[in-house]
Structure 1
Amino acid sequence: MATVGFIGLGVMGLPMAEHLAAAGHEVRGYSRTPQTRRRAADRGVVEAESVAEAVRGADTVITMLPDSPDVREVALGDGGVLSHIGPDATFIDMSTIAPSVSREISAVFGERGVDVLDAPVSGGQSGAEEGTLSIMVGGSAAVLEAQRPLLEAMGRTIVHMGEAGAGQVVKAANQIAVAAHLQALAEVIVFLEGHGIDATTGLTAIAGGLGGSTVIDRKSASAVAGSFDPGFRIELHDKDLAIVAESAREQRLSLPLTATVAQLMRALVARGDGGLDHSALVGLARTLNGEGR
């Protein structure tokens, strides 16, 4: 069993750390808020009072943080992971960040002889809680195989994508697909409702055919009901689509559909709905068609 330092115990990180502890690993968890650390301690995670306490002596250090600046600061900043991680340990960042930042972190850690994987996840809060996440891994294939038992405690699908940063590229592509599916779901709902068809019944038929998707399976009931308690917040998906835009610009790629959905996500953030679930795109679609949210 491994000793794991886990930094970032939010909606996704806490259940992931809990699964690692349940699998028999010693998990030392750190989050900036004491309440979050205590909640983790109630679920079998050893409470660490600092990044240093979580990292020192750990075989593997995992971060699950909101954005690129957070990961860069925790990984490379004063008193961060690099300052305390052992030479034989592995650093795995499971956050969703810019591929360029993942490559930067991998290069800096590599200069110290520390192995790094970027391993962002898909599946949302429910996938984290169920331990069924899809994990997209960039970095050394050999390092991935050594760390696979840890990742298998948190996810069902674990795929090596290529060199450092490749996991983040695939996660960005995943966010393109999810955003497009969510906007399609939103427009299907308003189209059905506009014709007086029960949206739930219509979506049941669609889900059984070529138009079916995991987004319909997981999001349609709450979207039709207009219930947008967050599983994955609009503001986070907005951030992810900004990563897509930056990465696409670097490669001189044109993604017109993605750009349109990104503007709709940004509109939701601008009107104060960033804390809602990303299925709240249906609320915006209803508003655009003269209906209530």
Structure 2
Amino acid sequence: MSETGLSIGFIGLGIMGLPMAANLVQGGHRVRGFARSEQTRAKAAEQGIEAVGSTAEAVDGADVVITVLPDSPDVVEVGLGEGGVLGHTAAGVLWIDMSTIDPDTARDLHARSTAQGVRFLDAPVSGGEAGAIEGQLSIMVGGEAEVLESARGLLDLLGTTIVHVGPAGSGQVVKAANQIVVAGNIQILAEALVFLRGQDADLERALEVIGGGLAGSTVLQRKRESLLAGDFRPGFRARLHHKDLGIVQRSARAAGVGLPATALVTQLMQTLVARGDGDLDHSALYAQCAELNAVKP
């Protein structure tokens, strides 16, 4: 597969997908994108993406298909349903699913794609909206190593850390582990901020010095300014992180491992969603923690 001037069918032009597709256009590829929302399709057209009216139109004649969708059922529907990816792609096409879904679903899609002669990678991402815009995502890839190598030039336009982590489904397993770390980090950061407020500390200075030491993290770096401003506009929606932690819980149960701290953070994320804040950024865990302590974030 040539890595220049590819025809790419891109399904899912949300907070993450739209800037990813735009980066592929800037890299010299032809991108036909589909999203259900007419408003989203209009935004895509502004980025040089050819906005089309269906999955079938997006993938017809494509060299590569990329999906960035909210959940396992969405990927299954787009991939296997009427008018879906496998119904409109030829043998030899590469399908890269960059959604975060259940590992077993990824394995099943890999098997079905392979049976049809379509190459499949599960390649979920981490880095949030900022990473998608900047082309600095971390991409964890499951599938055949040689298939990844054939697509590496394309993925280089989307991320700076691209790692083959194992056979089909492994990308999703590693992404689930990533989501454990991110959720736990946000919750502990939220509690640290509430603690600092209780001591009348200067939050900006405190986070500056904390960020320069062992407690520093990408979460702190990316979320610092919005946390200080109490700005919880979504870069990654809490309801999607709640979905991801559900994948963790199911996979952990199937593997027979106990994750007590993760279970607690999962319940806190579920509470955030249950109270109606699922469309806020996942850093709104701080708002919830602040409210429990009767302080304003």
Contact 1:199 1:224 in 2 (8 A): yes
Q: Distance in 1 between matches of 2:151 and 2:221?
A: 31
Q: Deviations over 1:219-278 (max 9, x none)?
A: 122213321111111111111111111111110110111110110111111111111111
Q: For 1:183, which of 174, 187, 203 is the aligned residue?
A: 187
Corresponding residue for residue 143 of structure 2 = 139
Deviates more, 1:198-207 or 1:133-142: 198-207
Amino acid at match of 1:251: A
Q: Deviations over 1:134-159 (max 9, x none)?
A: 11000010000101111111111100
Cα distance, 1:34 vs. partner?
Answer: 2.1
Q: For 1:249, which of 243, 248, 253 is the aligned residue?
A: 253
Is residue 261 of structure 1 aligned with residue 259 of structure 2?
A: no
Q: Deviations over 1:42-76 (max 9, x none)?
A: 11111222111111111110100010000010001
Q: Any idea what SS the aligned residue of 2:239 has?
A: helix
Is residue 33 of structure 1 aligned with residue 32 of structure 2?
A: no
Is residue 85 of structure 1 aligned with residue 89 of structure 2?
A: yes
Contact 1:185 1:220 in 2 (8 A): no
Cα distance, 1:195 vs. partner?
Answer: 1.1
Q: Any idea what SS the aligned residue of 1:260 has?
A: helix
Is residue 228 of structure 1 aligned with residue 197 of structure 2?
A: no
Q: For 2:56, which of 42, 52, 55 is the aligned residue?
A: 52
Q: Any idea what SS the aligned residue of 1:264 has?
A: helix
Amino acid at match of 1:66: P
Cα distance, 1:170 vs. partner?
Answer: 0.6
Alignment of 1:138-287 (within 5 A): 138-287=142-291
- Structure 1 residue runs of 5 or longer lacking an equivalent are none
Alignment of 1:67-86 (within 5 A): 67-86=71-90
Q: Distance in 2 between matches of 1:41 and 1:196?
A: 49
Contact 2:34 2:55 in 1 (8 A): yes
Cα distance, 1:215 vs. partner?
Answer: 1.1
Amino acid at match of 1:236: L
Amino acid at match of 2:93: A
Cα distance, 1:193 vs. partner?
Answer: 0.9
Amino acid at match of 1:135: I
Alignment of 1:108-119 (within 5 A): 108-119=112-123
Contact 2:90 2:117 in 1 (8 A): no
| Sequence identity (%) | 58
Contact 2:138 2:159 in 1 (8 A): yes
Is residue 123 of structure 1 aligned with residue 127 of structure 2?
A: yes
Contact 1:95 1:120 in 2 (8 A): yes
Cα distance, 1:17 vs. partner?
Answer: 0.6
Q: Distance in 2 between matches of 1:108 and 1:86?
A: 13
Contact 1:93 1:119 in 2 (8 A): yes
Q: Deviations over 1:67-90 (max 9, x none)?
A: 000001000112210100110101
Deviant stretches of 4+, over 4 Å: none
Q: Distance in 1 between matches of 2:263 and 2:292?
A: 18
Deviates more, 1:104-113 or 1:30-39: 30-39
Amino acid at match of 2:285: L
Q: Distance in 2 between matches of 1:39 and 1:277?
A: 21
Q: Any idea what SS the aligned residue of 2:276 has?
A: coil
Q: Distance in 2 between matches of 1:154 and 1:35?
A: 24
- Structure 2 residue runs of 5 or longer lacking an equivalent are none
TM-score (norm 1): 0.98
Q: Distance in 2 between matches of 1:234 and 1:279?
A: 8
Q: How many residues align?
A: 293
